[in-house]
Amino acid sequence: MRKTLFMNIAAVAVSVAVSGCSIGMAMSGKKAPDLAVVKTDAYRQDIELQLGTPVQASSNDLGGVTAVYDYEVGNEPSAGRAIGHGVADLLTLGAWELVGTPVEAVQGDKYRLTIAYDKDNKAKTISSQKI
């Protein structure tokens, strides 16, 4: 009886210790940028406060820079999702990770934004595509 109880406790401890990928992924999402600032004649520094550093930049015909930004929408950190994954992990002794991790891996949509700035670092053309 004691050996069986010990084995069950050990199995639960091991499964909880090796699980948690979906929990970590749910908590480590990234807040979506405020795209309201991304408009023509907006200054580059204001846009980059939301989008971050461009993944690519090159000179353009406007005397400025064309910058490419990648961002994600729909993958904000979520304590609720993390708690749900944790409860499911406990109820299934960690087997939930086979479902929860792939679910978290496909959260959010990724986009690429290309902005051509003029010599004064003002946005002149903006294009977006889903990647």
Distances (CA, A) of 14 to 19, 59, 90, 94, 115: 8, 54, 11, 9, 49
Backbone angles phi, psi at 78, to 5 degrees: -140, 110
> What is the reported pLDDT for 6?
59
Task: Record the tokens describing residue 74, joined without a space.
Answer: 């729909």
Per-residue pLDDT of the chain (131 residues; tens, 9 = 90+): 666 665 656 555 555 444 568 888 888 877 889 999 999 999 999 999 999 999 999 999 999 999 999 999 988 888 898 899 899 999 999 899 999 888 888 888 999 999 999 999 999 999 999 99
